[in-house]
Amino acid sequence: MSDAVVRLDASRERLRAAMRDMRGRRIAASAGDRTGAPSWWEALEGTPLLGSVVQGVRSAWQGSPMPTVVRLAEDAGNEALRPTAAQHPLALVGVAMAGGALLYWARPWRTLLRSALFAGVVSQLTARMVSQIPLASVFDAIQSLVARPPAAAPREASNEPTQEGLRHSG
């Protein structure tokens, strides 16, 4: 076999191993093998109003292709940066500081808030929150308000002239 075929086979094997590792992580996360106290994210999910928002964000995140991209980037970053961090830790800190300064200067979150992606997430969150509202009780309350006529206040006899009395007098 040629050198290119050997490198291709090695690359494919690394991809298979990475995919097996990601599948194992997903299975472990879905099995709920977390121990200890719930994380702050899970604690937020337990609150009444924020719970639906957190679930909406989580479902939007899991429905997008981004979790796979982030895991692959994490694995590639770990594999690439571990040797550098072992040999030149101060250089790595300097690069991280420069990257943070660049993020601060560029402020990409401003563009994100205006983008269609943000609008899609907001619409999904709104739909999720509206689906949590118990519509039967809302309809019952509206029906009870509409069905009941307003109570007429009894008119007390007074010495003040009414509109009809004002037209005839004078």
pLDDT in tens, 136-158: 777 777 777 777 665 655 555 55
pTM of the model as a whole: 0.35
> What mean pLDDT is predicted for residues 91-109?
91
pLDDT at residue number 150: 59
**Encoding tokens for residue 24?**
């194992």
As a whole number, the mean pLDDT across the chain is 75
In angstroms, the Cα distances linking 1 to 4, 8, 9, 11 are 8, 11, 11, 15
Report whether pLDDT(106) > 80.
Answer: yes
Report whether pLDDT(78) > 90.
Answer: no
Q: Tell me which of 168 and 2 has the higher pLDDT.
A: 2
42, 47, 51, 57: CA torsion to nearest 10: -60
CB 112 within 8 A of CB 118: yes
> What mean pLDDT is predicted for residues 96-110?
90
Q: Please choose, from the candidates 161, 69, 57, 164, the residue with its C-alpha nearest in 3D space to the C-alpha of residue 118.
A: 57
